[in-house]
Structures are given as structure tokens and as C-alpha cells.
Structure 1
Amino acid sequence: MGHLIPLTEFAKRLVLTHNFSVTFIIPNFRFPIKSQESFLDSSMPKTIQVLYLPPPPPLADVPSDANPSFFVATAMTRAVPALRDSLKLLTESTRLVALVVDVVGTDAFEVAREFNLLRFNLADGIIVNSFLDLEPGAFNAFVDEEDDGSGKKPPVYPIGPVLQTRPTGGNDDDVECLRWLDEQPRGSVLFASLRSSGTLSQEQLTELALGFEMSEQRFIWVVRSPDKDSASGVHYNAQSINKDDDPFDFLPKGFMERTK
């Protein structure tokens, strides 16, 4: 989800402002990510198509304790044949121009070459959710890097800030959170979120809670139930999280009352 929100907002901009047709192709990691599906269903205009790839072959050769990023990278590699089939079907009804992938999906570039598509973020350009005045040093570093051997450096396109300005499909609690934030003095609120790909162990959750309490600062904290086995990430280890767990039950006793 961390990457998904700016990508969806970017897609809306392409469709509404530049009259592009956009298709999201979502890999299947063999476990449900309902929040992702719900977000796409509720936030995407009807003009943007969403395709879900079938699951790749079982990752039986990947150790169960492997780093989550390794698991995802392996799954993405093995999703390439399904991607190829999906693009082949799309070419029957659509003129394909470019393939945009995130950093874990660069294996898809071999398929892009087969279909003669522009490739972002590597050979034909790197799309960054930022802007030049915010990170001039970083953009200058891209310009100063050695080329990839092709004789030219890929251009960098700062398209940001691309963000979701209003909650989509949210509930009353979301709106109340924003109302409360608007009432606070400027620069007075700490914000903590590990995005969709991270969670904490019980020990880490407790330490962070006590840190907020001792800071005596206003804060907004996106809290998830701790991973019972590790702090690897709820996004990748969704099956290890009991969906009935209330994250508040894992906070230090009296924390909510002392920090209200």
C-alpha cells in the first residue's frame, strides 16, 4: 500500500489530465491482502482497469524464515510468465505504450522488451514521487551517476508530490483524526507509521509506546497488532496476524488513559 497510493494518484492524473488508458497489474503472493483490494475497489475510477495475476508456483524452495523482501522479489520473478500472458491479452484490444514497475518488479522489463514497451524506472526513465526543490542533492546525484553502459543515462522524472489528499472509503474515526489534527498548533504533532509493509514485535511495540508517552508530545500513531513470530512485516506475513486481535490490547497497561 505504501507504493500503491502514489501510484494510483499518478494513474488518475494520467487518465484525467492526459487522456491515457491505465491498467494496474497486481501480483498474487498466495495470501490475501484485503486492504489492498478494498483500496483499489473504492478509489479507482472506472476508467482504470485492475488485473490480478494468478498465483505463481509454490515457493517451496524459499525458507520460511527468509527475509520478506527476498520472498517478494522471488515471487515477482516467478510472476513474469503470468505478466507476459496478461500483456498478450491486452495487446489484442489496447495499444500498449509503457510499463511502469516499482523497485521489486524490474524482472518485468524483459517482458516489456518483448512487447517493445517503454520501461520506467530504468532504461527509459526513473519516476520519483518527489520534486526538485525538495531533494536537489538526490536529483543531482542521479545526473552525476555513470551510465548503464548504453551510452546514455536514463532521465529522472520528479512527478511529486503525488499523494492522496482526502481519505477514500474511510470511516468516522478517520475524519475525526483529521479534525483533531487541524486543531493542533503547527509543527506540534509527531506522526509514526511503518506503512503497509511493516509491523513490530511486542517488545518493539511496548518500547515505542513508552517513548511516545515519555516525550509528552502530541502524536498520531498508526498501530497494528504485533507479529507473533517476528517483526518482519504484516504486509508479507499476513497469515501470522490474527485478524480478530485488537492492537490496543497490546499497548502498555494504562497507556491510552495516560496519553489521552
Structure 2
Amino acid sequence: MQAAGDRPHAALLASPGMGHLIPVLELGKRLVTHHDIHVTIFVVATDAATTDSLLKSCPATITNLSIVPLPAVDVSSHVEPSDHIVTKLLAMMRHSIPNLRSAISAMPTPPTALVVDIFGTGTFPLADELGMLKYAFDTTTAWFLATAVYGSSAEDAVARHIGSKTPLEVPGCRPVRFDDTLDSYHVIGDRVYHDFQRVGVEFTTADGILVNTWEEMEGKTLDALRDRKAMKNMVKAPVYPVGPLVRPSPPLETTEPNDAVLWLDEQPDRSVIYVSFGSGGTLPLAQLVELAWGLELSGQRFVWVVRPPPVEDDDVSATFFSLGNGSQRGSHHGYLPEGFLSRTRDRGLVVPMWAPQAEILAHSAVGGFLSHCGWNSTLESITNGVPMVAWPLYAEQKLNAALLTDELQVAVRPESDTAGSMVKREEIEKLVRRVMVAEEEEGKAIRERVAGLKESGEWALSRKLKGSSYSALAQVARELELNHQRLVAKAQGGGRWDPENLRDTYRRARMWECLPLSFFWSNLVFSLRGREKNI
């Protein structure tokens, strides 16, 4: 392994929220351990305790990975309390650019590339100024990426989608039903609509786009993104599927025994449904009551992570900026049905605020996951072979739920989960039983399909077999190495270095790359029967 100053250096920027921090951290770890890239992760966080807890989980054995929290920024004068979460996040990221500039300028080894998630694209001019390659990292699905990019330039199509509530026809992709559309597409002219349109445009200016998915999972959509004719030349940069990037489970470092995990140790295999709406989601009081009754009526074992209902005028994403890692314990007795805890104590466990989700989903006792369909949670479920009850709340989660239920068929979903609708206890009971009861044919088929996806994800990331996602990230690493060599040559007096000329060199080189062949090869290997599983 080379010394830090002799290898390419990538700067990764994570926006607030576990849904962004987790995949950025896992991407950084893979760049270091598999591709010998020096990585610095800059974190714009709103909850220090949660961030510190996650960052401490990074093994000490992974050297050449640095984590730098950026100072908090006050954007209260730039946004309203009622503004959409997208608007708030974009404001925080754009007002963090001066802090990022200062931090990068102070580095003894300047980065050769800047990798940002969807809310960090406002930093691209800074990357250009400092001569860094710039990569956009879509931490969710390729379908979301295609929708965002297409919607940013096809305003007439989006207007019809919103005005007539007709499906949005994204070229080469499954149509997006209005009921599943992005929050940002609900009203044309809203601030969040314009904010999101700008993000879609900025994404296409990247030198490369990384996506937390894999070829075998979203091959058709990835092909559409690469088809310049179909996408009307909107996506010029190469698209690299590098997933599934998820937290390791069980934890790499020894932790204190957790009550939920200890309880699971006493339960039969695949007998427990895990219920959680993520670190930033919650349900209205009336819906919490219906969910409690539905779990009780199902007769199934459960672990339920409960967060207090939002206060009046808040929405279901109200807890996003006050994430908890167990420190914000609160009583749940005031909003669960009377007698619920005593009636279900022999087969259920209610956990306030937080539980170690990655460890729980990896536990042999867990046979189902009732989830908000955040992409991190979805990938953690799939990579552990756990079928889902999809219950989306906000952001792109309804798009994720549609992918899981309609295309991949690894989840079931309430008939009506639109904003303001109530999912009744009787339907919740049926949904849980459809996934959990072993005798149900539908449940068997779902378990088989999710097991297949789990296996394909393992092969995609395989270093030994040069799986599709490993190969894609290896190509990115080669580009970073080329840029590093150019920077070294410039520092040694090798002539004037022009970052725009360098990008032209990359674009010409990509015409002759054999990356699609490696994707084909990994798919061929995956399809062979009787193969030995040796990841």
C-alpha cells in the first residue's frame, strides 16, 4: 500500500441525515480498502451524538480515512419553518461551502476529486475552481435518478403529471404514478419544486454519477440512463452502480448487549417482524394506535421501534433534524392503546426511539420488516434476505415502495398510503400475515425473490469475482489515479495543467473502456449453475 501522499485523494461530502451519511461512509471505506484511495469525509451534521456514534463504528484498522465535521451553519434567516425538508437541506449545504473551502485549502494533500450526494451539487463550482474531478453520488435508486434528471428538463411532461395526475413517462423506465411521485412534484411553482429542478440540472454536470444500486437489480433503468438518445442527451457523464452500500452487520466492534437483540436470541428463526420508520420518520397518533392494534391482531411476534407522534402542524418527517441514537428515550405509554403492552408482552417488544437496526435485520429470528422504505433500510433488508411491508412516508420513499412491490416483488403494501389516508388495523393485520405466515404462498414467493436479490448483491460487490459494482468503482478509482498523476506532473513542473482538458481526455478514454464487458462477464458468471459461493 502506498503512503497517503503517493495515492489519489478523494474528498466525500455528506449532507445531514443518516440516509446520506451511511452510504457516504461505506463508499469511503470501500475506496480505501479495495482501491487504495486516500479518503476524507466532510460531514454537515445537525445531530452530533448520532453522527459521533456512527463514525465511531468505523474500524480503527481502516487507515487513510479521515472524518472531518464541518461547523454548523444557521440558515434560519434563509428558510421558513414550514419549508420542505429538501429546501432546508439545500440551504444548509450551500451555506456550508465556505467552511468546505477552508477545510480543503488547509489540507497538506489536496483532493483529486470531490464526491457529493444529491444535496451537495452546489459545491461543483468549487471543485472546478480547485481542479478536482466532481462526482455526484445518488444514495438511492437509479429510478429516482432518472426521474430527477428527466423531470428537470421536461417541464411540460412534469406539468401534465402534476396537473392531470397522470403517470410521468420517463424514457426507458417504469412510468411514475402520481400517487408515487416525489414530494417535490406535488405543486408547480413551489420553492421546493424549483429547488429540486435545480438539483436535477446540477447532477448532469458531474464528471461521473455513482448510484447505490447494482446492475442485476436495476439493469433496465441503468441502461436507460446510459442511452443518450432515449434520455435526450440529458445524462452525458458515465453512470456507475456501486451498491449495495450498507452498514456492516453484525457490528465490527464489540458493543454492549442490546435489549432488543437479547430478546431476539430467545425467539424462533424467522418468527419476528421488525417495525421501524427510520431515524427521521414518525406516525400521527391515530395511525400509531391502528398500527398497534394491527400488530396485536396479527398474532405475530414483533419488535417495534416507537417514536412519539408529531405535534400539531408538523409532518411525518418532523424528527429528521432531531435524530436519536438511544439518548432521547421517552415514555410511549401515553400514545399506545390501553393494555397493549401487557397483552403482547409474551410475543412483542416495544423499543422507544432507537434500536440497532443493522444487527436486528441480520438476526436469524427476523422474518419480516415493516419499513418506511428509506433506501438504507431497504438495502439492509434486502442484503439480509428479509421481505418487507412497505409503508412509505415522505421524500422518494413512495417511489422506492413502488419499485419493491410492483417491479421487484419483494414487498407488500397498503392499498392506500397517500398523505392523510389512514391504514386500518384490519389491513395491517393482513399485510403482516402475508409476509410472516409460512403457509402463505405469496410469502414464500417473496422470500425466494428477496433471497435471489441478496445473492446478486453479494456477487455485485465481490472483489474476487470482479462483480459489476466492484468493477464500476474500480473504474472511478482509475480516473482518480489519472487525475492524481496529472497533479503530480504539474507540481513537478510538467507544464500548465488544465482541468477542462483533463475532462476531455476522460471522455475520449471512456469511449474505449471495457466496463460494459465486465458487467456482462459478472452477469454471465452469476447465471452459471452449480457455482461455488466464494465471495
Q: What is the SS of the residue equivalent to 1:221?
A: strand
Structure 2 partner of 1:79: 96
**In the TM superposition, what whole-angstrom CA distance separates every residue of 1:124-183 from its partner, at most 9, and x where no partner exists?**
2221222111122321232232333xxx622221112222222356432254366467x4
Q: Larger deviation: 4-13 or 97-106?
A: 4-13
CA distance in 2, matches of 1:28, 1:107: 17
Q: 2:29 aligns with which of 7, 12, 17?
A: 12
Q: 2:119 aligns with which of 94, 99, 104?
A: 104
Per-residue deviation at 1:74? 1.1
**Which amino acid in 2 is paired with 1:208?**
L
CA distance in 2, matches of 1:217, 1:147: 51
CA distance in 1, matches of 2:329, 2:274: 25
Q: 1:255 aligns with which of 321, 330, 340?
A: 340
**In the TM superposition, what whole-angstrom CA distance separates every residue of 1:103-133 from its partner, at most 9, and x where no partner exists?**
1111121211111222221422221222111
Q: 1:61 to 1:158 in 2, by over 3 A?
A: closer
* 1:210-225 superposed matches below 5 A: 210-225=293-308
* 1:147-166 superposed matches below 5 A: 147-148=233-234, 153-163=236-246, 164-166=248-250
**In the TM superposition, what whole-angstrom CA distance separates every residue of 1:22-69 from its partner, at most 9, and x where no partner exists?**
11111144xx34112211123253532111112224422421222222
CA distance in 1, matches of 2:338, 2:38: 52
**In the TM superposition, what whole-angstrom CA distance separates every residue of 1:166-207 from its partner, at most 9, and x where no partner exists?**
2356432254366467x423xx65443332232233333223
Structure 1 partner of 2:256: 171
* 1:168-207 superposed matches below 5 A: 170-173=255-258, 175-176=261-262, 179=265, 183-185=268-270, 189-207=272-290
Structure 2 partner of 1:232: 317
Q: 1:96 to 1:251 in 2, by over 3 A?
A: same
Structure 2 partner of 1:50: 67
Count matched residues: 248
Q: Larger deviation: 5-14 or 205-214?
A: 205-214
Q: TM-score with structure 1 length normalisation?
A: 0.81
- Which one has the largest radius of gyration? 2
Q: Is the 8 A contact 2:75 2:95 kept in 1?
A: no
Q: TM-score with structure 2 length normalisation?
A: 0.42
**Which amino acid in 1 is paired with 2:220?**
G
Structure 1 partner of 2:49: 34
Q: 1:202 to 1:154 in 2, by over 3 A?
A: same
Structure 2 regions of 5+ residues with no counterpart?
1-17, 137-202, 348-535
CA distance in 2, matches of 1:87, 1:124: 20
Q: Larger deviation: 121-130 or 203-212?
A: 203-212
Structure 2 partner of 1:114: 129
Structure 1 regions of 5+ residues with no counterpart?
none
CA distance in 1, matches of 2:236, 2:244: 24
CA distance in 2, matches of 1:118, 1:252: 55
User: Which structure shows the bigger proportion of residues in helix conformation?
Assistant: 2
Q: 1:258 to 1:184 in 2, by over 3 A?
A: farther
CA distance in 2, matches of 1:235, 1:67: 11
Q: Is the 8 A contact 1:27 1:54 kept in 2?
A: yes
**Which amino acid in 2 is paired with 1:24?**
I
Q: Larger deviation: 189-198 or 67-76?
A: 189-198
RCO higher in 1 or 2 (8 Å CA, sep ≥ 6)? Answer: 1
Q: Is the 8 A contact 2:213 2:242 kept in 1?
A: yes
Per-residue deviation at 1:9? 2.1
Q: Is structure 2 residue 258 aligned with structure 1 residue 243?
A: no
Q: What is the SS of the residue equivalent to 1:104?
A: helix
CA distance in 1, matches of 2:27, 2:244: 10
**In the TM superposition, what whole-angstrom CA distance separates every residue of 1:76-122 from its partner, at most 9, and x where no partner exists?**
111111111111112xx114121111111111212111112222214
Say what the alpha-carbon RMSD is for the aligned residues. 2.8
**Which amino acid in 2 is paired with 1:159?**
V
CA distance in 1, matches of 2:36, 2:318: 37
Q: What is the SS of the residue equivalent to 1:105?
A: helix
CA distance in 2, matches of 1:255, 1:43: 39
Q: What is the SS of the residue equivalent to 1:126?
A: strand
**Which amino acid in 1 is paired with 2:97?**
V
**Which amino acid in 1 is paired with 2:79?**
V
Per-residue deviation at 1:219? 3.8
Q: 1:194 to 1:105 in 2, by over 3 A?
A: farther
Q: Is the 8 A contact 2:289 2:336 kept in 1?
A: yes
Q: 1:142 to 1:197 in 2, by over 3 A?
A: farther
Q: What is the SS of the residue equivalent to 1:25?
A: strand
